[in-house]
Amino acid sequence: MSVLEVEDLHAHIYTQKGVVKAVDGISLKVNAGETLGLVGESGCGKSMTCLSIMRLLPRPNGQIVGGRIMLDDHDLVQMNEQQFRGIRGRLISMIPQDPYTSMNPCFTIGNQLMEPLRTHLGLRKSGLIERAKQLLDLVRIPEAISRLKNFPHELSGGMRQRVVGAIAVSCHPKLILADEPTTSLDVTIQAQYLYLIKQIQAEFGMAMIYVTHDLGIISKVCDRVAVMYAGKIIETAGIAEIFQQPAHPYTQALFSSIPPIDHDVDWLPSIEGQPPELINLPTGCRFFDRCRFAMERCQGKYPPEFQVGKKHFTSCWKYVL
């Protein structure tokens, strides 16, 4: 049963230089309780996909120009802002990347933690404090009651990000969008955070979209992975297939260009060149000029999605006979 279904989503950003096609026709599905990893390099549109789902694209320049985003029976694109406010933070919530900028420095963490509880769940007074305390306990913050009166700057980065996590799960949402929540944390603190996220997810049975570029993290939290390149999803597969048999040449090259920890390599094959500019996209395959297997027809038309295994799809002409 899928919680979220995105169909042919297009999101554009209008700039002085031209139209940036940040998200250019992506479709994805997230099932209940499942974690979908969204992988790609900067500028490939993974964050923009999240912001489109949250309807938080930069205004007035960013716009969803086509496609459907279905959360159960609600079409999130057609909704007006008033209706969407009942969804954002209630049914879908987001853990942004940087806990230093995502919390308001002028309010206590208690205040920020109670805000969604008050507006969405209608909790008041003692019930509110009780629930806030439970949430801090859930994310393993000791002495919860006194912590509620702390301001964000009084907490370490790891603790702050845990508070942000607590705010995100406070109303038992159906879907959490985690946009690289651990990039600003240290490695050992990052491991603690991932461990915690997995536990909470298992407890509440939420679906999650986890945006990252770190293969170690993907292997730890994701059930399925979608790889993005220049605004499109180029490959989706289960976690085992993506590591054992990556199908798209970009995925293959990307995985082999990351230095391994558990064995020595003499030389890493690197991907030469740069990703294309999103203002000026080629008509054919977007990986064409960096691809080892590039053929003539790759340049002419964008490849359709092709099934290469059970629940394993890729957009590459190599697999189309």
Q: What residue ranges bind other proteins (CB under 8 A)?
A: 41-42, 156, 158-159, 186-192, 194-195, 198-199, 202, 213, 215-216, 218-220, 239-240, 243-244, 253-254, 257-265, 267-272, 274
CB within 8 A of 318, min separation 6: which ones?
A: 249, 293, 295
> What's the min distance (Å) between Cβ of 223 and other proteins?
11
Closer by beta carbon to other proteins, 104 or else 156: 156
Let me know if 59 is exposed, middle or buried by CB neighbors in 10 A (0-12, 13-18, 19+): exposed
Distance between first and last Cα of the chain: 33
Closer by beta carbon to other proteins, 183 or else 299: 183
Closer by beta carbon to other proteins, 63 or else 192: 192
Distance CA 117, CA 31 (A): 26
CB within 8 A of 22, min separation 6: which ones?
A: 11, 12, 13, 45, 48, 62, 231, 278
Q: Which helix (H) or strand (E) holds 114?
A: helix 109-121
Q: Which helix (H) or strand (E) holds 29?
A: strand 19-31
> What's the min distance (Å) between Cβ of 75 and other proteins?
34
> What's the min distance (Å) between Cβ of 294 and other proteins?
16
- Residue 141, sorted as left (phi over 0), alpha (psi -120 to 50) or beta, turns out to be beta
> What's the min distance (Å) between Cβ of 295 and other proteins?
21
Q: Which helix (H) or strand (E) holds 138?
A: helix 125-138
In the structure encoding, which two tokens stand for residue 78, read together?
A: 């057609």
> What's the min distance (Å) between Cβ of 311 and other proteins?
14
> What's the min distance (Å) between Cβ of 268 and other proteins?
4
> What's the min distance (Å) between Cβ of 141 and other proteins?
12
Closer by beta carbon to other proteins, 112 or else 182: 182
- Residue 55, sorted as left (phi over 0), alpha (psi -120 to 50) or beta, turns out to be left
Closer by beta carbon to other proteins, 202 or else 320: 202
Closer by beta carbon to other proteins, 40 or else 62: 40
Closer by beta carbon to other proteins, 63 or else 184: 184
Q: Of 256, 225, 250, 220, nearest to 239 (Cα)? A: 225
